[in-house]
Amino acid sequence: MSAGAVIVGAGEAGVGAAFALRAAGYAGPVTLIGGEAELPYERPPLSKDVLGGGALKPIRAEADYAAAGITLLRGRTVRRVRREAREIAFEDGGGLGYDRLLLATGAAPRRLQVPGAEAGPVHTLRDAADAFALRAAIEPGMRVAIIGGGLIGLEVAAAARGRGAAVTVLEAGPRLLGRGVPAELAAILAVAHRSNGVRLCTSCSLAEIVWRDGVADLRSADGSGTLADLVVAAIGVAPRTELAAAAGLAVDNGIAVDAELRTSDAAILAAGDCCSFPHPLFGGRRLRLESWQNAQELGQLAALNLTGGRQAVSHVPWMWSDQYALGLQVAGLPAAGAATVARHHGGDRLTLFHLGADGRLVGASGLGPGNSVARDIAIARRLIGARAAPDAAYLADPSASLKALLSLLPAAAG
């Protein structure tokens, strides 16, 4: 009997891959190994609904795993990959053979490096356990300081305000969301946070934390200070590459894979936040994305290619964030654009189109109440995927039908 497919990491990418293996007709054993004890759950709600008091949202119902013939091992950590023997070794002893292996190990929060950061409790948010700890710690009236004005930091800020805390966000860069979200939209979000009572401090580089009687004094490089009862570090994540590196696989800002998600060992693939891959849609540029849709898409692609497929990455990157009543969506790579075209819908709804130097649409981003920018972004995603070069004046005109642009595309763009 074949040793089967083994997936390390039961997050969005790993779970998606396990079910996609079955959907692709793979009949061998499928073992999905996750270091966490919970039934695999969605991470995006952690900084939204779960911090607000909601329950975890399982990716799939428990019964689905057995029904699909997937062996789910929870609370088991893989310590080593022995490539010569084609087996993995568990931290708690024992091992398991594989004839194909998928690494879907995700990413881990970066830790604060400043003096004093280890001298008191600094929360991070990646796992369910982190969310429960943070939720239990935040109390009305408490002073909460969040280090990092990225998406997670800002979602935590909104949730902490929702729980009645006094919130300060310290961001080292000159503006919020410096990575991946255009300045125009970040500015609108900054206004939303301020009007919801969040104190935002940009160009505020944390130099040191001094703890006194459980209160943190956060000293900035410019000499200013902020007192906080609770400190959250939301300064980004680093891909979990330890297993791959120890097994001698190539690592380049993540486990380095080719466009078919193969590592430097053809029997081992990687998917999700843990890997970097060349994207054909963007001139083969090597990307490492930290988004839910990317994890799903790569998980599914990995399953196809684990079962003999030879398909290259083709999805258009997409992500969203919810803060207060506002919904943000980003498709493609806005930062790869040379020019930005704004479509003002009136009210507080704005869509931006990002055109490459050759006129091709390479990104789109939008912000508005609820899901009001979703259609624009859904259409833009298809245009980006089809390498379309729509007319800038047309894009800017809110009365011109975006959907009509789709009918000009080759049929496969749906």
Partner 1 sequence: MANWTRACGVEDIDLEDVGRFDHAGRVFAIYRAPDGQFYATDGICTHEHAILSDGLVMDHLIECPKHMGRFDYRSGAARGAPVCVALRTYPVRVEGDDVLIDLG
Residues that bind ligand FAD (CB under 6 A): 8-14, 33-36, 43-44, 46-47, 77-78, 104-107, 125-126, 152, 240, 243, 272-274, 290-293, 295, 319-321
Site for partner 1 in 8-67 (CB under 8 A): 16, 42, 57, 59-60, 64
Site for partner 1 in 298-317 (CB under 8 A): 300
Among 3, 24, 188, 378, binds partner 1 (CB under 8 A): 378
Q: For residue 12, give the nearest of 77, 106, 152 by alpha carbon.
A: 106
Among 371, 389, 391, 408, binds partner 1 (CB under 8 A): 371
Backbone angles phi, psi at 36, to 5 degrees: -90, 155
Question: Taking CB under 8 A as the rule, does residue 292 contact partner 1?
Answer: yes
Q: Least distance to ligand FAD from the beta carbon of 410, Å?
A: 28
Task: Report d(CA 53, CA 50) in Å as an integer.
Answer: 5
Question: Taking CB under 8 A as the rule, does residue 75 contact partner 1?
Answer: no
User: 240 with 107: CB under 8 angstroms?
Assistant: yes
> Which of 42/348 has CB closer to partner 1?
42
> Which of 30/388 has CB closer to ligand FAD?
30
> Which of 123/381 has CB closer to partner 1?
381
Q: For residue 362, give the nearest of 202, 182, 233 by alpha carbon.
A: 182
Task: Report d(CA 293, CA 271) in Å as an integer.
Answer: 12
Q: What is the DSSP string of 145-178?
A: EEE--SHHHHHHHHHHHHTT-EEEEE-SSSSTTT
Backbone angles phi, psi at 155, to 5 degrees: -65, -40
Candidates 89-97, 140-148, 292-300, 301-309; binding stretch for partner 1 (CB under 8 A): 292-300
Place of tokens 């049929």: 411
- Residue 240 interacts with, from ligand FAD, partner 1, none (CB under 5-8 Å by kind): ligand FAD
Residue 140 structure tokens: 């009305």
Sheet of 87-90: strand order equals 78-82, 87-90, 95-97
Among 370, 389, 391, 408, binds partner 1 (CB under 8 A): 370
Q: Least distance to partner 1 from the beta carbon of 383, Å?
A: 12
User: 272 with 298: CB under 8 angstroms?
Assistant: yes
**Site residues (vs partner 1, CB under 8 A):** 16, 42, 57, 59-60, 64, 292-293, 296, 300, 318, 320, 327, 370-372, 374-375, 378-379, 403, 406, 414
